Amino acid sequence: MKLLIDNADIEQIKRIYDLYPIDGVTTNPSILAASGRHPYDVLGDIRAFIGDDADLHVQAVARDAAGMIREAKKITEELGRNTYVKIPCVPEGFKAMKALSAEGYNLTGTAVYTPMQAYLAAKSGAKYIAPYINRIDNMGYDGVQVAKDIHDIFTANNMEAGLLAASFKNSQQVLELAKYGVLAATVSPDVIDAFVKNTAITSAVDAFIADFEKLTGPGKTMADL
Ligand code: E4P
């Protein structure tokens, strides 16, 4: 499963990239708004930092297909043709996806709450489909199960699209989908940090260091001997 950062704070992106094995960055209009910066300034900084080969996902906001198509052209001119344009899975979005996929654009179907949206987006040529796990949970349904159903639909129908599962609020939601073998998950920095935020882990490492220092002296490591 690929692991992406769902955030546009360049300092947070640099910090998480430094620590963990990360495959790219996703944004949405709310995430860009939180940055308080011009969208192409912040996205340009992200692209420059992650490099041309890493996945970068940027959402279109137009309500009609013609507007989404114009945005896809501008987004990829500014940020590279390999940038994934996120298109909301609404009727005008499917129309835009069909036209853009025919021209070879990389597309992510987003704002996915139901398997039928995912099926239509995959058929319309999106390579990634982004179900919103926690938002589905908050509606009283099972977000992880919806994502598994979408994965099963793609497998059963030999569809090329894969999941870019999104909107996570805890490690368990991510873990369940890693076990299921979905293509990718995009996760906020605080939830990525929480993957390994566990006193059992830190106290085990502290005990190893304390034992080693009893043997070799304070601050010594295997490199110093
Ligand atoms: C994907 O990029 C989605 O826009 C995002 O994960 C939504 O997350 P939220 O439900 O935490 O806003």
Residues with CB under 6 A from ligand 1: 6, 26, 28, 130, 132, 134-135, 166-167, 186
Give dist(CA 212, CA 142) in Å, integer. 47
Task: Name which residue sits closest to atom 11 of ligand 1, judged by CA.
Answer: 167
Report pLDDT digits (tens) over 175-206: 999 999 999 999 999 999 999 999 999 999 99
Q: Give percent helix, percent strand, percent coil of the chain, each to the nearest 5.
A: 55, 15, 30
* Cβ proximity of 25 and 54 under 8 Å: yes
Task: Tell me the CA–centroid distance for residue 133 and ligand 1, in Å.
Answer: 9
Beta bridge partners of 2: 184
Report pLDDT digits (tens) over 37-88: 999 999 999 999 999 999 999 999 999 999 999 999 999 999 999 999 999 9
Give dist(CA 189, CA 14) in Å, integer. 10
Active site residue 86: yes
Q: What is the pLDDT of residue 217?
A: 96
Counting from 1 in the atom list of ligand 1, the atom nearest the Cα of 30 is 12
DSSP string, 107-125: EEEEEE-SHHHHHHHHHTT
Report pLDDT digits (tens) over 84-96: 999 999 999 999 9
Q: Predicted confidence band at 33 (pLDDT cuts at 50, 70, 90)?
A: very high
| Options 14, 73, 86, 220, the catalytic residue | 86
